[in-house]
Structure 1
Amino acid sequence: MADVAALYEAEAPRLWRFFRRRTASPDEAEDLVHETFTRALGQGPRTRVRNPGGYLTRIAQNLLRDRAKIARRRSADLHVSADPDLPAGTDPVHLLEVRNMLDRLEVVMLELPETTREVFMAHRLEGLTYTEIAGRTGLTVKQVEKAIARAMVALDRGLGPR
């Protein structure tokens, strides 16, 4: 990996925010940031990482997934159903699947080149036309079309069946 101190300085705040949105306390988020870097460094210098930010995000997602599995196992023994015929209000498995998909979406979006990501988000989130995006970015309409196509292919690959 690149210079660890510089990577930590650049990525730790983003990872802390990522964990803070998903944990109960700031201290827990801080511990998870450290655990993320510990796991990344545990891979050793033999690992060549093209996108360190995306790699760290993937490790962070796996940490959260591992913690959710452990918590689910612990709580399964404590669960007592009041009435087995009544459906549960919220399906925790479905929520975990949705969270997993959103995490995968975030990783794929972070791995896109900045221009491609900007063009895709301008079209899909802001609803801008290709012509409006071309005017905003200085690209041609054809380049905008290709950028959106590249983003769609990356999303299809990243969010495909798992």
Structure 2
Amino acid sequence: MPPGPDLSVSPAEPERDASSACEADGEEARQRPDAAALYAAEAPRLWRFFRRRIPCPDEADDLVQETFTRALRQGARSSLRNPGGYLTRIAQNLLRDRAKIARRRSADLHVPADGEIPAAADPLHLLEVRDMLDRLEAVMLELPKTTREIFMAHRLEGLTYAEIARRTGLTIKQVEKAIARAMVELDRALGSR
């Protein structure tokens, strides 16, 4: 994990005499919770929180930094009873924002499958895609019924091997073999042009 934000830097202040500067710095330190200690205590927990939800460790690091940046941007919260909970709420909001952005991006890329050709679509590319889909459909129809149903249950319904095994009465190993067989046939169909 990268080092925490440098919280010791403060904006330039007008010159003060030495005694008032020391008093003000002491008062500011008492009002602001020790951000470095808070970072040391909470950053590993937040990193694990993000890693459970995001596959990339670098993104988790960035989100931990963003969480603390947002918390510090909100100002001194010395009256917080549960700073860990506050940081968790910020982390959840970051993930929610990230999901909204991803949904918007995927909506922009969505092409309806009702047969209408988008105006700017490349006709050659569309023919290649239709040809690939035709080959995939032909291969799927050639698969044994059980293999096809197992593959569809896993890929389309998102069932686990164990759930498929319970549903079909097969062993998990048989389910694995059926899915592998289907994948080999589909790969062979896509590889032959």
Q: Is the radius of gyration larger for structure 1 or structure 2?
A: 2
Task: Give the TM-score of the pair, scaled to structure 2.
Answer: 0.41
Task: Give the TM-score of the pair, scaled to structure 1.
Answer: 0.49
Bigger RCO of structures 1 and 2 (CA < 8 A, at least 6 apart): 1
